[in-house]
Amino acid sequence: MSSIALGATIVDALIGVGVTDVVLAPGSRSAALALAVDRAARAGSLRLHVRVDERVAGFTALGIAKASRRAVAVVTTSGTATANLGPAAMEATAAGVPLLLITADRPAHLVGSGANQTGDQAGILGPSALAVLRIGSESGDDNDWAAVVQRGVVLAEGRRTRRAGAVQVNVEFAPPLVGELPPARPRPLRVAGSAGHTTVDLDARRTVVLVGDATPEEGAEARALAELGGAPLLAEPSSNARVGANAVPDYRLRLGALGGDIERVVVFGHPSLSRPVTALLSRDDIELVVVSPGATWVDPGHRAAVVADRVLLEDQDPEWLPRWFEALPEAAPPTGRDLVTATVLESLGPDDDLVLGASSIIRAADLAPIRERAPRVFANRGLAGIDGTVATATGLALATGHPTTVLLGDLTAQHDLGALVRPPSEPWPERLRVVVVDDRGGSIFRGLEQGAPEYADSFDRVFLTPQGVDLVAVAAALGWRAARVAADALADALASDADFIVVDLS
Ligand SMILES: Cc1ncc(C[n+]2csc(CCOP(=O)(O)OP(=O)(O)O)c2C)c(N)n1
Ligand SMILES: [Mg+2]
């Protein structure tokens, strides 16, 4: 996409989220922004103020924002111009005045090359910026750019954090820097402030409630919304909403056939498990409503139209929900990892906690049958690492006192061997049990692009990486009651006193 499109989109995004005033200091790198903001001012969509000195521009914006309590945008070119925003940014963040500092920049690969007016300017405001966001004409599209700018405005205004201040949006413009402006486009984003715990009412258009990784409280809220409104509940394993009559166990497999009929998605938590869901969150033709209890919100496809603390959903067409439960062609009984997951889930009830490792195991759990007596489920889905899973579970179990089961892959277990050491004379969870799915390496990669036959020569060494660690021997040496079993013997092992079970899937 082009620099002129980027400039036009930034201005559309500012208007769409409620910005009324822009202060511009002239320059070349920021030319597309200057042209777009001038057009918007002529159309009466914005008020434009032009100042030569960026320090003066910053403080002028500060004055407007002090009076209006709405974010005022300041646009500068690259280089020392950006550092001149420092004093106004310091004052804005100290005094809680919302400023969006839009600093034009060169493409990142020119930093350090000696290219004219090119320094390392993203983050130049240091602690005076509440956040530093980055976009560029060579990466992403107009939806991505608009979403980043609008997130910047919401952060600067402290609309959800109640902490207003300066936010920098550093924008890399690649040549050509000017061109014909694309038509202005409305980009409304409604972000409810969290302070008043605002509730947003949603009409009856065909809705699914999608729940990613979430706390038990959020999961319960999502479940209640789906059940009260009669909407399908598409719930990931650590959503704590994979329960009840509206939860669709195999939703991931049904999105292909039914996805086209979805008109709205209400998202809770942090979905991260499957490509069909990522595709759904990136669609232009659905209304995306994000429910978030926190300061920020999840919107990986950059399509959110509404962000709210709570929503109420009008009754859905009664024929919508049953369509998600129509019989699929007879599925074979579960084997391998699916059997392990189903067996572990069946052995647990509402008094238990389950910690799921990353990789294929949590995806298997995403297709497991829905059970009315479900455990609380936790997973490190913030960044989906395979590190620290057992240690996380020990911390969780120490804090809750609940019987806790960890279900994880062999590499994930091996990554966290240190957590199997029980420090002498330290408190240790009374009922902690580890179940390792041993399929000899990172099987998830078999189903990804690198699993294709053309990479077969490199696959085992640089992706699968089987470690050949005898996990039962290691755990036993560290004092665990360890056993190795086949998948069909897991139910018995779970009923025994073993607290470290390796399920052999080789
Ligand atoms: C800390 C960290 N390093 C690397 C990765 C990349 N990674 C994702 S899955 C995976 C393999 C996991 O293997 P295993 O635990 O055996 O699970 P499986 O894929 O066999 O189900 C790796 C290395 C990651 N997510 N986190
Ligand atoms: Mg494995």
pLDDT in tens, 180-218: 999 999 999 988 776 556 789 999 999 999 999 999 999
**Which atom of ligand 1 is the closest one to the Cα of 337?**
21
Residue 235 DSSP label: E
In this structure, how many other beta carbons lie within 10 angstroms of the beta carbon of residue 186? 8
**Which CATH fold would you assign to the domain 199-323?**
Rossmann fold (3.40.50)
Per-chain residues with Cβ under 5 A from ion ligand 2: 409-410, 439, 443
Residue whose CA is at the smallest distance from ligand 1 atom 10: 442
Q: Quick one: which ligand is closest to 384's CA?
A: 1
426, amino acid identity: E
Both structure tokens of 5: 């499109």
Determine the residue of 338, 380, 386 to mutate for testing ligand 1's pocket, defined as the one with the most ligand atoms within 8 A of the Cβ atom: 386
CA of 402 to the centre of ligand 2 (A): 27
Q: Which atom of ligand 1 is nearest to the CA of 414?
A: 15
Assigned CATH topology for domain 3-188: Rossmann fold (3.40.50)
For 402-415, the pLDDT digits (tens) are 999 999 999 999 99
Enumerate residue ranges in the chain where pLDDT < 50.
Answer: none
Nearest CA to ligand 1 atom 24: 385
Backbone angles phi, psi at 395, to 5 degrees: -65, -45
Q: Report the C-alpha gap between 445 and 462 in whole angstroms.
A: 10
Report the separation in Å between the CA atom of 473 and the middle of ligand 2, taken as the mean of its atom positions. 18
Element (H, E) at 425: none
E strands present in 198-339: 199-202, 207-211, 233-235, 264-268, 287-291, 304-308, 310-313
Ligand nearest to the CA of 387: 1
CATH of 336-504, one of 1.20.1260.10, 3.20.20.70, 3.90.950.10, 3.40.50.970: 3.40.50.970
Q: What is the DSSP string of 43-74?
A: TTSSEEEE-SSHHHHHHHHHHHHHHH-S-EEE
Q: Ligand 1 pocket test: which of 337, 341, 359, 467 has the largest number of ligand atoms within 8 Å of its C-beta?
A: 359
Q: Quickly list H helices, 294-388.
A: 320-323, 336-346, 360-365
Output the CA 410–ligand 1 centroid distance in Å. 9
Q: How far apart are CA 188 and CA 18, in angstroms?
A: 9
- Every domain range in the chain assigned CATH 3.40.50.1220: 199-323
Ligand 1 first shell, C-beta below 6 A: 358-361, 384-387, 409-412, 439, 441-444
Nearest atom in ligand 1 to the alpha carbon of residue 384 is 25
Q: What's the CA-to-centroid distance between 140 and ligand 1, angstroms?
A: 27
Ligand 1 midpoint to CA 358 (Å): 7
Q: Do residues 459 and 477 make contact, with C-beta atoms less than 8 angstroms apart? A: no
- Ligand 2 mean position to 334 CA, how many Å? 18
CA of 461 to the centre of ligand 1 (A): 14
How far, in Å, from the CA of 438 to the mean position of ligand 2?
A: 6
| Residue of 414, 439, 300 whose CA lies nearest to 361 | 439
Q: How far apart are CA 2 and CA 337, in angstroms?
A: 47
For the chain, give every residue range classified as CATH 3.40.50.970. Answer: 3-188, 336-504
DSSP string, 429-443: -SSEEEEEEESSS-G
Position 194 scores a pLDDT of 61
Ligand 1: nearest atom to the Cα of 409 = 15
